[in-house]
Amino acid sequence: MAITPPSERNWWKQPIAKVELTWIIIAFFWGLFMFFMMIYWHGAGEQNLSNEAYKIKPEKFAAKTQEMIEAYTVREETGFPVVHPPAGSDVYLTGRLFNWWPILELEKDQTYRLHLSSVDVQHGFSLQPININLQVHPGYDMVVTIKPDQAGEYGIVCNEFCGIGHHLMVGKLYVIE
């Protein structure tokens, strides 16, 4: 029994039943398949993280965001600047207690280099309803190349607990035709 010492002293020499061995082999190859599937997707799939990131001082990231806002703001919405940066450009989104700053307006089927960082604690970038979720750290500038392929109005929920106002932290992103 499993609660007593093995009855055969040389238990490591006992043969393995065929059914058990078969399952081990199937499970092993399934594991290998899943492992190589991740590598395959880096080549063939369209949804990957580049892992391009830089260390950056929070003040510096906030300044870069501000620079973009000053250059490309097109209108204002409930106190938030709505920024329409040129296609293909570097776009900055700052997470801070308790909002995503500013509102971005992107063009459908254009590519952008989206920079994400925080100026205080960790936040979670959760783009809804498309459901893309990324962790946002203070001190790290994460660069994600995105290509929005559906027009519409999107919410950016903070999905990393960041303090008592965490549930107030909602941002917005437009994708226009």
Q: Which of residues 51-90 bind other proteins (CB under 8 A)?
A: 51, 53, 77-80
| Minimum distance, C-beta of residue 117 to other proteins, in the bound complex (Å) | 8
Using CB under 8 A as the binding criterion, the count of chain residues that bind other proteins stands at: 90
* Nearer to other proteins (CB atom), residue 8 or residue 177: 8
Cα within 13 Å of Cα(144), Cβ side = 18
15 preceded by a cis bond (ω within 30 of 0)? no
Sequential DSSP letters for 70-97: HHHEEEEETTEEEE-PPTTSEEEEEEET
| Minimum distance, C-beta of residue 89 to other proteins, in the bound complex (Å) | 16
| Minimum distance, C-beta of residue 99 to other proteins, in the bound complex (Å) | 7
Any contact of residue 107 with other proteins (CB under 8 A)?
Answer: no
Any contact of residue 164 with other proteins (CB under 8 A)?
Answer: yes
Any contact of residue 45 with other proteins (CB under 8 A)?
Answer: yes
Q: Is 2 helix (H, G, I), strand (E, B) or coil?
A: coil
Q: x/- site string to other proteins, residues 4 to 43, per CB under 8 A?
A: xxxxxx-xx-xxxxxxx--xx-xxx-xxx-xx-xxx-xx-
Nearest to 162 by CA among 102, 96, 100: 96
Q: Is 28 helix (H, G, I), strand (E, B) or coil?
A: helix
